[in-house]
Amino acid sequence: MRREAPAAARNRQPILDALRPRLPAEGLVLEIASGTGEHVVHFAAALPGLTFQPSDPSADARASIDDWVRMQGLGNVRAALALDAAGDAWPIERADAVLCCNMIHIAPWEAAIGLIAGAAHVLPAGGTLYLYGPYRREGRHTAPSNEAFDRDLRQRDPAWGVRDLEAVMSLAEDRGFGPPEIIDMPANNLSLIFKRT
Ligand SMILES: C[S@@+](CC[C@H](N)C(=O)[O-])C[C@H]1O[C@@H](n2cnc3c(N)ncnc32)[C@H](O)[C@@H]1O
């Protein structure tokens, strides 16, 4: 049941390094699209003052997440929630921070719209929305590898694809987030840190 993704094992430490100084010392962190669960257990073990709420619409993913948490004996991770970012009502009312890695390019654009709207709903003023993944900037891919990845995604599903940073920023602005802090990450990915105003 426990699944592994080589990319998650590679990027979890750089993501944690970006998150650590930007998350509150305590509170509830909602992760959207937790996937295998390798990220959430890594973050929760390193940040014991926080409680983590993982989620994923896939039952297989939720089983993997819960299995990783059980195996590591972590007391600060809740059972994974069934949460579709594009769904109308999220099964959680409040969180102090929302994280989402590598989802909005592997889902229809409606998932990005729902993610930003849902995060705006659950976060208090000053709450953090953290996004990680590849983005186009000013209409261009930032690396040939991202362009090839984008082609591959669109062949798998025409509704998928590497998103434009400016389009995501515009969605966020419409929902009451300020301009993001942008951090260049390994392998041509970006961290975007939005604050709810
Ligand atoms: C590439 S995996 C990323 C997993 C993990 N966040 C990571 O970075 O390793 C994409 C995940 O997005 C989830 N997903 C797809 N559509 C979604 C949606 N509409 N709402 C929330 N999660 C979604 C999938 O079930 C899958 O677990």
Say what the pTM is: 0.98
Residue 1 in this model has a pLDDT that exceeds 90:
no
CATH architecture of 6-195: 3-Layer(aba) Sandwich (3.40)
Ligand 1 contact via 57 beta carbon (within 6 Å): yes
- For the chain, give the mean pLDDT: 97
56 lines ligand 1 (CB under 6 A): yes
Judged against a pLDDT cut of 90, whether residue 88 lies above it is answered with no
The three state secondary structure string of the chain is: CCCCCHHHHHHHHHHHHHHHHHCCCCEEEEEECCCCCHHHHHHHHHCCCEEEECECCCHHHHHHHHHHHHHHCCCCECCCECCCCCCCCCCCCCCCEEEEECCCCCCCHHHHHHHHHHHHHHCCCCCEEEEEECEEECCECCCHHHHHHHHHHHHHCCCCCCEEHHHHHHHHHHCCECCCEEEEEHHHEEEEEEEEC
* Domain locations in the chain as residue ranges: 6-195
User: Of ligand 1's atoms, which has the minimum distance to the CA of residue 87?
Assistant: 19
* Interval 139-162: pLDDT, tens: 999 999 999 999 999 999 999 999
Dump pLDDT digits (tens) for 46-63: 999 999 999 999 999 999
Task: Report whether pLDDT(102) > 90.
Answer: yes
